[in-house]
Amino acid sequence: MNAQSAPALAIDGLRVEYPLANGSVFTAVENASLVIQPGEIHALVGESGAGKTTIGNTVMGLLEKPGRVAAGSIHIDGKKFDAVKGSATGIVLGRDVGAIFQDPMTSLNPLFAVESQLTEAMRFHLKLDKGDARSRALELLESVGIPEPKRRLKAYPHQLSGGQRQRVVIAAALSCNPKLVVADEPTTALDVSVQAQILKLLRDLADSRGIGILLVTHNMGVVAQIADHVTIMHRGKVVETGSTQEVLRHPKAAYARALIGAVPRIDQRLDRFPVLGDEGKGRAESARAELRAKAGRSEANADETPILSIENLCVDYTTSGWLPGSTGHRFRAVDDVSFSLRSGEVFGLVGESGCGKTTIANVVSGLVRPSAGRVLYRGQSIAGEGATRRVGPLRQAIQMIFQDPYSSLNSRMRIGSILSEPILFYRLATSRAEAETDVTRLIEAVGLDADASQRFPHAFSGGQRQRLSIARALGARPKLIVCDEPTSSLDVSVQAQILNLLKDLRDATGLTLLLISHDLAVVRQMCDRVAVMRQGQLLEQADSETLFDKPQHPYTQELLSLVPTLDRIRGETQAA
Amino acid sequence: MFKVLLSRLGQAALVMLVVSAVSFVMFRYVGDPVATMSRENASVEEKAELRRSLGLDQPLVVQYGRFLTRTLSGDLGISYRNQRPVTELIAERLPATLELVIVATILSLALGIPLGVLCALKPDGVAARLVQALSLVGISTPTFVTGIVLILVFAVSLGWLPSFGRGQVVDLGWWSTGFLTISGLKSFILPGITLALYQLTLIMRLVRAEMIDVLSSDYIRFAKARGLPTRYIHFRLALRNALMPVITVTGLQIGSLIAFAIVTETVFQWPGMGLLFIQAVSFVDIPVMAAYLLFVGLLFVLINTVVDILYAVVDPRLRARSA
């Protein structure tokens, strides 16, 4: 590193405020300071609402009105940056500051080819002509590791995979040789193996080009893997800052300790996730006991038949061709998969996006029809060969929890109506009044206050909404709940609470859970048995302890080795 | 893909069959054609003879079959009033209506898109608020009121523009156009504005809503973060995304413009198909009414079918799968 040159980014005493409608002022960031030297990766960590993205946006000149910088200074490459106007003498956004956004699916414009989106910044900032910009774009694509760059230049974003798109975004951020790159959750939307590649690319860019990188993330594993320094934020304030090794190994602030503790571990199984603060148990526990009493004895516990078995399941997606008789494209999403769930266990299904795990969830819940094979619920076929129409009790027995708690609750219905819907639909209560007591019990069982039933979903945070989704699934008194990525859109600490809740409910009501996730650490903490999928095929299934300690299939081994964890902290690898 | 195409065409044919049935029923039951066509003191035998020669004594199904065959071969009957083939009448009036609709569409796009963009970019500006308020007036005033007010102001009081007709037209083969003479062009202005007004406000509001949506999208934020000039971001990047639904709506609106040009054509005595229809109604000229019904039905079915098929072609999920 070059000690003489000015820091890539120096923030001193930054305060960002949002004036509210009622005249008061919300302080999103207070007295934040950090310094990034060229070639250094500085991670900014915290939960949603911690102010980390606000800092990123301020540096990129994207602070949305009515937000304003109230105090403090920002220097980029030694030059003062006016965050209010988004300008500085000698600093041009896009030329000296590059940006990488979270979701590569949405940060590229779907109507323009890669070439146009890559070259426009160079043509405006470096005044290159079309030909020069094009040859430079080719170099950039090559340097970020995109195969066949010539062909990719002409491609539209939808023709590229998520990882390739993120590489294009990185190439665009690098196009004008920036001093500083702000990367806002650059790998959150990506699979583990792609994440590993992108992280390596960022690290290489910092090392070889001497770019300072401000990495905004909530993933501690990512921080451990590539950051040199880390700053932890909580409610707009910097809680702790220092070298990655120091902060992650010996956190001083209580919040930093709690946050790091909440990260699910992949190396060993814990009884419960450590959570921040009080879980508010008392009322919830008695509500769960009542739920259990109402649901009656889980009659199948003694029974040896698996609660759910999937036999030689295949699912094809086809598009019809132009001519009659031609089949068009056929895509086999699930290929000859068999496994079964014992009553009362938590079964995990892991794999990267596109491996077919969600398709299986959809088949189990009756949203997709299998092309071959069948699904049995307690020995009775519910999908595929010999399936009968799913009626009352069968439908009721299998419920789902979806990934996105923001779109899976109807925003125009009160919580009370949302939760009483399954109860009334399956006639589980004899009167409306009884249904209402049931709703109250459900809300308390998931750890919320009973008055929630009067409110609409928008009044709740993501974690609270996911609790409500769980309550809705429980309302039908199911035997099996299919959870499709139940925590992947939540913060670590909230994730820990939700997973604890699922565990408690499983213990209290004898539920069986089919947990679908790409997060291996979560799966290890939650599941009794695990199956690994790739490209529609089931590669390996085993008890989770066995699978994580002695993975048999090379793909499983590779997946496990790619997960960024707190055990592999940058700078320690040589020492270990 | 072929299946989609086939089912869409099948649906279109079915709709046209129903429309033709309605139009046939009109022929048969709105007044008695024999009573209309025969002399006043014709004997019962003469009427029966006429009935037989017209084929009206045949069972209903046979008559409908004949009607279909004739219609398909392009014979829509003879106008009672003008005593000329209806196909000829329609062909004569079609250019006037189409030209008016073209002018109205261009006008509404040329004004609606920039105004929509203006409202989206400066939602609190004076101009945007004024345009928003006026657009409410535009969308809620009936066409005939707008037309009459325009005539009153620009034709009667100021005397700048003609109040009715197409002005001088030039014949190019069977197509007569008003685009080539000064008086023809002048005549387009008032009816063009009248017809365009509703569509203009619609397009403006659509562009505004889409543009606001697009401006808050990630790819526009990404473009800003790359420091691209604001003008370039707004007019080259964002506008293209915002225009996608506008294309669809404009396509569908052209159909209703043609069908609903009736009011405008009546107010401005524009010698188009709408006027032809209104005159046919007042003279109970059933063949013309029936043909107009068929024509408008065909137009809507055609446009909707094309749009449906285009959707299937453009659907990004289908594109993604074949990529």
Dihedral (Cα; B118, B123, B125, B127), 10-degree rounding: 40
Which residues 82-121 of A have a C-beta within 8 angstroms of B?
Answer: 92-95, 97-99, 101, 103, 106-112, 120-121
* Token pair recorded at residue B215: 């401006």
Chain B hits for A189, Cβ within 8 Å:
none
Strand partners, A341: A308
Nearest to A516 by CA among A502, A80, A504, A505: A502
Q: How confident is the model at residue A572 (pLDDT cuts 50, 70, 90)?
A: low
CB contact under 8 A, B222 and A94: no
Q: How confident is the model at residue A231 (pLDDT cuts 50, 70, 90)?
A: very high
Task: Read off the CATH number of the domain in which B209 is found.
Answer: 1.10.3720.10
Per-residue pLDDT tens digits for A421-457: 888 888 888 888 888 998 998 898 888 888 888 888 8
The pLDDT score that the predictor gives to residue A275 is 66
Distance between first and last Cα of chain A? 24
**CA separation for the pair A150, A147 (Å, rounded):** 9
* Token pair recorded at residue B278: 């209104």
**Entry field: residues in chain A:** 576
Our CA-based measurement puts residue B159 at a distance from the nearest CA of chain A, in whole angstroms, of 48
The pLDDT score that the predictor gives to residue A58 is 86
The pLDDT score that the predictor gives to residue A278 is 52
- Asked if the model's pLDDT at residue A495 lies above 90, the reply is no
Rg (CA), chain B: 25
Per-residue pLDDT tens digits for B276-314: 888 888 877 778 888 888 888 888 888 878 877 776 665
Mutate to test the interface with A, among B3, B4, B226 (most CBs of A within 10 A): B226
Q: Which residue of A has its CA nearest to B219?
A: A107
Chain B contact present for A53, CB below 8 A:
no
**DSSP letter string, B180-227:** TSHHHHHHHHHHHHHHHHHHHHHHHHHHHHHHHHHHTSHHHHHHHHTT
The pLDDT score that the predictor gives to residue A571 is 65
The pLDDT score that the predictor gives to residue A91 is 66
CB A558 within 8 A of CB A540: no
CB contact under 8 A, B2 and A322: yes
Nearest to A370 by CA among A380, A352, A356, A391: A356
Within a domain: residue B8?
A: no
Within a domain: residue B220?
A: yes
Nearest to A50 by CA among A185, A169, A181, A173: A185
Contacts of A226 (CB under 8 A, 6+ apart): A41, A199, A202, A203, A215, A570
Our CA-based measurement puts residue B198 at a distance from the nearest CA of chain A, in whole angstroms, of 29
How many C-beta neighbours within 10 Å does residue B168 have?
14
Which of A274-278, A527-531, A569-573, B61-65 is predicted with the least confidence, judged by mean pLDDT?
A274-278
**CA separation for the pair A224, A478 (Å, rounded):** 40
Portions of chain A given CATH number 3.40.50.300: 281-562
CB contact under 8 A, A62 and B218: no
The pLDDT score that the predictor gives to residue A215 is 92
Within a domain: residue B9?
A: no
**Entry field: residues in chain B:** 323
Percentage of residues in chain A having pLDDT higher than 70: 91
The SS3 call for residue A358 is helix
Within a domain: residue B239?
A: yes
Strand partners, A515: A348, A483
Considering CB atoms only, which of B2, B217, B321 is closest to A106? Answer: B217
Considering CB atoms only, which of A97, A120, A320 is closest to B1? Answer: A320
Q: How confident is the model at residue A319 (pLDDT cuts 50, 70, 90)?
A: low
**CA separation for the pair A190, A168 (Å, rounded):** 14
**CA separation for the pair A547, A532 (Å, rounded):** 9
Residue with tokens 């649906």: B11
CB contact under 8 A, B227 and A93: yes
Nearest to A110 by CA among A165, A149, A62, A174: A165
Per-residue pLDDT tens digits for B161-199: 887 778 777 777 778 777 778 888 888 888 888 888 888
The pLDDT score that the predictor gives to residue B322 is 38
What's the structural domain count of chain B? 1
Q: What is the mean pLDDT of chain B?
A: 81
CB A550 within 8 A of CB A557: no
CB B5 within 8 A of CB B308: no
The pLDDT score that the predictor gives to residue A1 is 43
Per-residue pLDDT tens digits for A103-118: 777 888 888 888 888 8
The pLDDT score that the predictor gives to residue A325 is 53
The pLDDT score that the predictor gives to residue B170 is 78
Q: What average pLDDT does the segment A387-398 reach?
A: 77
CB contact under 8 A, B227 and A92: yes
CB A256 within 8 A of CB A232: yes
| Most confident of the following: A63-72, A540-549, B1-10, B299-308 | A540-549
Nearest to A497 by CA among A522, A460, A517, A530: A522
Q: How confident is the model at residue A303 (pLDDT cuts 50, 70, 90)?
A: low
**Full residue range of the structural domain in which residue B248 is found:** 90-284
Mutate to test the interface with B, among A109, A188, A318 (most CBs of B within 10 A): A109
Chain B hits for A108, Cβ within 8 Å:
219, 222
How many C-beta neighbours within 10 Å does residue A535 have?
15
Which of A129-143, A282-296, A349-363, A471-485 is predicted with the least confidence, judged by mean pLDDT?
A282-296
- Asked if the model's pLDDT at residue A338 lies above 90, the reply is yes
The pLDDT score that the predictor gives to residue A95 is 79
**CA separation for the pair B158, B313 (Å, rounded):** 51
CB contact under 8 A, A62 and B223: no
Percentage of residues in chain B having pLDDT higher than 90: 2
H helices present in A321-451, as ranges: 357-364, 392-397, 415-425, 432-445
Q: What average pLDDT does the segment A116-141 reach?
A: 87
CB contact under 8 A, A169 and B222: yes
Q: Are strands A537-543 and A529-534 parallel, antiparallel or unpaired?
A: antiparallel
Within a domain: residue B174?
A: yes
Phi/psi of residue A268, nearest 5 degrees:
-150, 155
CB A308 within 8 A of CB A340: yes
Distance between first and last Cα of chain B? 15
DSSP letter at B76 equals: -
Q: How confident is the model at residue A506 (pLDDT cuts 50, 70, 90)?
A: confident
Chain B hits for A97, Cβ within 8 Å:
225, 227
CB contact under 8 A, B2 and A323: yes
The pLDDT score that the predictor gives to residue B317 is 45
* Token pair recorded at residue B84: 């000329």
**CA separation for the pair A320, A421 (Å, rounded):** 38
CB contact under 8 A, A124 and B232: yes
Nearest to B54 by CA among B87, B39, B32: B32
Q: How confident is the model at residue B319 (pLDDT cuts 50, 70, 90)?
A: very low
Q: A281-562 domain in CATH 3.40.50.300?
A: yes
**CA separation for the pair B216, B238 (Å, rounded):** 10
Within a domain: residue B26?
A: no
CB contact under 8 A, B222 and A124: no
CB A371 within 8 A of CB A316: yes
Q: Are strands A41-45 and A212-217 parallel, antiparallel or unpaired?
A: parallel
**CA separation for the pair A162, A175 (Å, rounded):** 20
Q: How far is CA A535 from the centre of its chain?
A: 21
Chain B contact present for A173, CB below 8 A:
yes
B178 or A409, which is more confident? A409
CB contact under 8 A, A108 and B219: yes
- Asked if the model's pLDDT at residue A37 lies above 70, the reply is yes
DSSP letter at A228 equals: S
- Asked if the model's pLDDT at residue B315 lies above 60, the reply is no
The pLDDT score that the predictor gives to residue A574 is 42
Our CA-based measurement puts residue B8 at a distance from the nearest CA of chain A, in whole angstroms, of 14
Per-residue pLDDT tens digits for B227-256: 888 888 888 888 888 887 887 788 778 888
**CA separation for the pair A531, A558 (Å, rounded):** 15
Q: Are strands A537-543 and B170-172 parallel, antiparallel or unpaired?
A: unpaired
Considering CB atoms only, which of A99, A319, A324 is closest to B225? Answer: A99
Q: How confident is the model at residue A48 (pLDDT cuts 50, 70, 90)?
A: confident
**CA separation for the pair A446, B290 (Å, rounded):** 66
The pLDDT score that the predictor gives to residue A2 is 45
The pLDDT score that the predictor gives to residue A86 is 59
Residue type, A279: E
Q: What average pLDDT does the segment A483-503 reach?
A: 82
Residue type, B235: F
CB A438 within 8 A of CB A427: no
**CA separation for the pair A266, A252 (Å, rounded):** 23
- Asked if the model's pLDDT at residue A387 lies above 60, the reply is yes
Which of A555-564, B249-258, B265-274 is predicted with the least confidence, judged by mean pLDDT?
B249-258
Mutate to test the interface with B, among A120, A165, A332 (most CBs of B within 10 A): A120
Contacts of A471 (CB under 8 A, 6+ apart): A419, A442, A443, A445, A446, A448
The pLDDT score that the predictor gives to residue A344 is 86
Within a domain: residue B191?
A: yes
Per-residue pLDDT tens digits for A176-225: 888 889 998 888 777 788 888 888 888 988 898 889 999 998 888 888 88
Which of A19-28, A161-170, A321-330, B111-120 is predicted with the least confidence, judged by mean pLDDT?
A321-330
CB A9 within 8 A of CB A178: no
